[in-house]
Amino acid sequence: MRLQTDKPEFLYHGSRYKLDTLKPHRAKGSPVENGAEYGIYAYADFKMAVPFALTVNPFENGSMSIYVDDDTGDVTISAGILDDGADGYVYKVPADTFEKLDEKQWLSKEEVTPLGVTVVHTEDYMSKITFAGAAKLYRERE
């Protein structure tokens, strides 16, 4: 692994699941945005990991669309159902096995044991979430 001088000591990974070990898997993001590689994604900025701790379930037809603003961490959900009462988790992880993908994302292709975890209560994050399109219509019908 190549040493990166700008590598922080630790990074943050958001998940809706409570885990003891983070295991690499195929991400569901856009390949254009470095989002479909096999591995564990993490950020140096805690607030950028928080959106990935939210529980958003697909509609009955399987559609789901979420956008995370790279500068603010604000989330726009245009398809899918947010579980307002769910808790998620942001894991603090050692950065040693991670390689930099772009200005914000890091990727590890090895299992990682978290150094710590912060519980994210969705209800506390609602001011950072915007609903659009079908997701907005769904929430208005609830």
Closest by alpha carbon to 95, among 29, 21, 10? 10
The torsion region of residue 140 among left (phi > 0), alpha (psi -120 to 50) and beta comes to alpha
The answer to whether 63 and 56 are in contact (CB under 8 A) is: no
What's the rounded Cα separation, in Å, for the pair 40 and 57?
20
Please state the domain extents for the chain: 10-141
42: confidence class by pLDDT, cuts 50, 70, 90 = very high
Least confident of 30-39, 93-102, 106-115: 30-39
Q: What is the pLDDT of residue 71?
A: 86
pTM equals 0.86
Burial class (CB in 10 A: 0-12, 13-18, 19+), 20: exposed
* DSSP label at residue 137: H
Residue 33 has pLDDT above 60, yes or no: no
Q: What is the pLDDT of residue 26?
A: 80
Quick one: average pLDDT of 34-60? 90
